[in-house]
A and B are shown apart, each in its own frame.
Chain A
Amino acid sequence: MEKFVTHTGKAVAIDLANIDTDQIIPKQFLKRIERSGYGEFLFYDWRFSPKGDVIHDFVLNKPEAEGASILIAGENFGCGSSREHAPWSLLDYGFHVIVAPSFADIFFNNSLKTGLLPVVLSADDCASLAKNAATSPDHQITVNLEASTISDNAGFSSSFKIDEFRKYCLINGLDDIGLSLQHEASITAYERSLQQDQPFLSFSA
């Protein structure tokens, strides 16, 4: 996983609640076996017409959204399926941070495992940031994960909460599997006790 320490970038807002993973990456793009290259399919049905023409009204297609790396969205972002293709597509498109009043559980977990940072701010703070992004010239947001702060160059500043262990993993780009395998002896011991105490639960067809 890529390390995440700080990030500064331009923001764009999609002012909708309950943006689900079917919108983030429609199912027809889940048949690929690769982990990369999903950015071009991000919000596909919102970005492109059925014929494949660019929908200019959609916020990500507007010239001012060009190069944005921080997405501000409504509550319950990422609800729906467990597809990790959702954070993969956001990252591949160029987003590093998603700011929302709340996230769906599985999306939140998946994001942390891929190096995409979900930041929870109050609805009012999300609205302030979105307003600044839309109205302030050369607007930039800076997220400092170590300090758990988010601020912009238009006077906004706030802190956010994040699980300390997850923060540590992101800052160090740590692979979860490697960390869990440090407990290999405990896993083996657990399996042995399972076999001893509950042999009747082992699998055999």
Chain B
Amino acid sequence: MKTLFDKIWDAHIVHSEAGKPALLYVDLHLVHEVTSPQAFEGLRMNGRKVRRPDRTYATVDHAIPTKNRNLPFADPIAAKQVDTLRQNCKDFGVQLFDLDRIEQGIVHVFGPEQGLTRPGMTIVCGDSHTATHGAFGSLAFGIGTSEVEHVLATQTLPQSKAQNFLINVDGDLPFGVTAKDVILAIINRIGTAGGTGYVIEYGGSAIRSLSIEGRMTVCNMSIEAGARAGLIAPDEATYEYLKGRTFSPKGDDWEKAVDYWRTLPTDPGAVFDRTVEIDATTLAPFVTWGTSPEMSVTVADRVPDPAAIDDDTKRRSYERALEYMDLEPDRNIESINIDRVFIGSCTNSRIEDLREAAKVVQGYKISGSVNAMVVPGSMQIKRQAEAEGLAAIFEDAGFEWRDAGCSMCLAMNDDVLAEGERCASTSNRNFEGRQGRGGRTHLVSPSMAAAAAIAGHFVDIRDWKFKEN
């Protein structure tokens, strides 16, 4: 009896011997401009080629501007990095979805959207949010640049097997509680290092009820709980999502693929090294108040008081976080005013996220004191949202409507918080300076971010007055 993770692991062992990491085959390698230049350079220095260009796909996302993309980059260093990726893809025969392509987008958005991501695969990328692809029942994890070079050269990676961790979220999610709140609740519960050394499988009826987009949001933030990979068993919703996508198997191949994928879910009775149960019916919209994704409370709660914490290290980290965030203990979350709103990132920039946010925004204008923007995860999503009328809703309300990219999730481009600015963000990290030096990030769901943009402060989305048409 095996878990989903065990099955994928066993199916990908190229070589194993006692006392050494197993050599694991990599089915799909996704590449972007920031963590790859030194890897390609390493190949050149050693006279090596990309072993499987047909299993290697690149896009640009991290450092690119999200407006005026037809103009030369304002940042010459970013321009050089993107040009370097272009040259590397050309020299090594790797397909690049460049800025002029409709497929271009955040690496963890465009892969699934094009049908490159499939159940049962091993997927790597030089980015810690690669676990996103686990939503399809694939083993997907982030790697460093040395490992990127290793995969380019050998299509394998030496890996020691992680342990199995099951997180069951059972019950119906209450109104206003989204996939983002589920994963923030999980991180709050197990801590930012709670998943270290594990691959997390998310199960239970609440997870099953999520759309594929929602499942991607959950798996995406596995690394924020310390786990390199998080995955969800494939089911009919998965197959439905994948059918007909550009790279998905076609015709007879499709039927055979689905037959194979149906063998993947964890066997009944398979043993997990650790299990955590979460009651979905008790969950509420979450807001982070600190500088680690585990520092969160529900929107109905108050900022915690460090004085109530016994553990010395934890108390000091809480005090430091509150000082950085300029918040005082016992502050009511809804009383926190915000300056900026960012709806985007590989966590929450898919069509469903934009639909949820647009529902909240419809018929309203953003607060005069707020600067808000929506950055779709891919150009394809951008066009779809325009066709569905979502872009008009955002723009009429006063949001900026940008081109696809990582944008203010990590603020490598011009989309940066100024010192002291406070942001409601649908991204994944609220570290000090993450969105700009001195910037203060609160992680929330797309609907909570949208409501905050309109109110100028956090509000409980469960009380929102929706204006339909």
B249–A18 touching, CB < 8 Å: no
Q: Which chain B residues (116-143) contact chain A, with CB distance < 8 Å? A: 116, 118, 126-128, 130, 142-143
Contacts of A33 in B (CB 8 A): 37-38, 41, 80-81, 84
Interface-facing stretch out of A76-84, A133-141, A148-156: A76-84
Complex Cα–Cα for A28 and B62 (A): 11
Name the residue on B nearest A81 (C-beta). B128
Complex Cα–Cα for A191 and B55 (A): 12
B418 to chain A, nearest CB (A): 10
Contacts of B25 in A (CB 8 A): 187, 190-191, 194
Which one of B81, B196, B226, B317 lies within 8 Å of A17 (CB-CB)?
Answer: B317
B358 to chain A, nearest CB (A): 29
Contacts of B52 in A (CB 8 A): 191
Q: Which chain A residues (155-196) contact chain B, with CB distance < 8 Å? A: 163-165, 176-177, 179-181, 183, 186-187, 190-191, 194
Name the residue on A nearest B126 (C-beta). A82
Interface-facing stretch out of A58-66, A89-97, A104-112: A104-112
Contact A80 B317, CB 8 Å, known A180-B23, A201-B249: no
Which one of A17, A31, A113, A177 lies within 8 Å of B34 (CB-CB)?
Answer: A31
Complex Cα–Cα for A18 and B434 (A): 14
B197–A105 touching, CB < 8 Å: yes
B437–A106 touching, CB < 8 Å: no
Contacts of B128 in A (CB 8 A): 80-82, 106
Interface-facing stretch out of B151-159, B230-238, B367-375, B459-467: B151-159
Range of interface residues on B (Cβ < 8 Å)? 35 or more
A165–B226 touching, CB < 8 Å: no
B125 to chain A, nearest CB (A): 8
Contacts of A45 in B (CB 8 A): 432-433, 437
Cβ-based interface call for A9 (8 A)? no
A177–B154 touching, CB < 8 Å: yes
Cβ-based interface call for A8 (8 A)? no
What 0/1 pattern do residues 47 to 89 of B give for CB contact below 8 A with A? 0100110110000001100000000000101101100100000
Which one of B20, B37, B62, B431 lies within 8 Å of A165 (CB-CB)?
Answer: B20
Interface-facing stretch out of B165-173, B251-259, B274-282, B387-395: B251-259
Complex Cα–Cα for A81 and B84 (A): 22
Contacts of B249 in A (CB 8 A): 200-201
A200–B252 touching, CB < 8 Å: yes
Cβ-based interface call for B180 (8 A)? no
Contact A20 B23, CB 8 Å, known A190-B14, A200-B257, A201-B118: no
Which one of B35, B317, B437 lies within 8 Å of A16 (CB-CB)?
Answer: B317
Cβ-based interface call for B412 (8 A)? yes
Complex Cα–Cα for A204 and B253 (A): 11
Name the residue on A nearest B124 (C-beta). A82
Contact A35 B41, CB 8 Å, known A79-B192, A81-B127, A106-B142: yes
Cβ-based interface call for B292 (8 A)? yes
B19–A165 touching, CB < 8 Å: yes
Contact A18 B55, CB 8 Å, known A84-B145, A186-B14: no
Cβ-based interface call for B469 (8 A)? no
Complex Cα–Cα for A50 and B439 (A): 12
B46–A23 touching, CB < 8 Å: no
Contacts of B20 in A (CB 8 A): 165
B38–A113 touching, CB < 8 Å: no
A113–B144 touching, CB < 8 Å: yes
Contacts of A147 in B (CB 8 A): none
Cβ-based interface call for B228 (8 A)? yes
Cβ-based interface call for B91 (8 A)? no
How many residues from A make CB contacts under 8 Å with B?
A: 58
Contact A104 B196, CB 8 Å, known A22-B431, A81-B127, A164-B19: yes
Contact A177 B432, CB 8 Å, known A27-B411, A76-B193, A165-B21: no
What 0/1 pattern do residues 191 to 211 of B give for CB contact below 8 A with A? 011001100000000000000
Cβ-based interface call for B355 (8 A)? no
A180–B226 touching, CB < 8 Å: no
Cβ-based interface call for B213 (8 A)? no
Complex Cα–Cα for A87 and B127 (A): 15
Which one of A16, A75, A79, A82 lies within 8 Å of B142 (CB-CB)?
Answer: A82
A63 to chain B, nearest CB (A): 24
Complex Cα–Cα for A11 and B411 (A): 33
B260–A198 touching, CB < 8 Å: yes
Contacts of A204 in B (CB 8 A): 247
Name the residue on A nearest B195 (C-beta). A105
Contacts of B160 in A (CB 8 A): 163
Contacts of B314 in A (CB 8 A): 17
Cβ-based interface call for B93 (8 A)? no
B432–A76 touching, CB < 8 Å: no
Cβ-based interface call for A124 (8 A)? no
Complex Cα–Cα for A180 and B20 (A): 12
B193–A104 touching, CB < 8 Å: yes
Contacts of A118 in B (CB 8 A): none
Contact A180 B80, CB 8 Å, known A200-B252, A201-B249: no
Contact A82 B412, CB 8 Å, known A16-B317, A22-B434, A33-B84: no
Contacts of A35 in B (CB 8 A): 38, 41, 145
Contacts of A190 in B (CB 8 A): 14, 25
**What are 14 inter-chain pairs, A to B, with CB distance below 8 A?**
A17-B314, A18-B193, A23-B431, A27-B412, A31-B34, A82-B142, A83-B35, A102-B196, A105-B197, A110-B145, A163-B160, A177-B149, A180-B154, A200-B252
**Complex A-B, nearest 10 residue pairs according to Cβ-Cβ distance, in ascending order:** A110-B144, A200-B253, A84-B144, A33-B37, A113-B146, A82-B142, A84-B145, A200-B256, A76-B193, A82-B128
A interface residues (Cβ-Cβ under 8 A, vs B): 16-18, 20, 22-23, 26-28, 30-35, 45, 50, 74-76, 79-84, 87, 102, 104-106, 109-110, 113-114, 123, 163-165, 176-177, 179-181, 183, 186-187, 190-191, 194, 198-205
Q: Known contacts A82-B128, A106-B142; can you find 19 more A-B pairs with CB under 8 A?
A: A17-B313, A28-B412, A31-B78, A80-B429, A81-B128, A82-B126, A82-B127, A84-B146, A165-B21, A179-B158, A180-B156, A187-B14, A187-B25, A187-B156, A194-B25, A200-B254, A200-B257, A201-B253, A201-B257
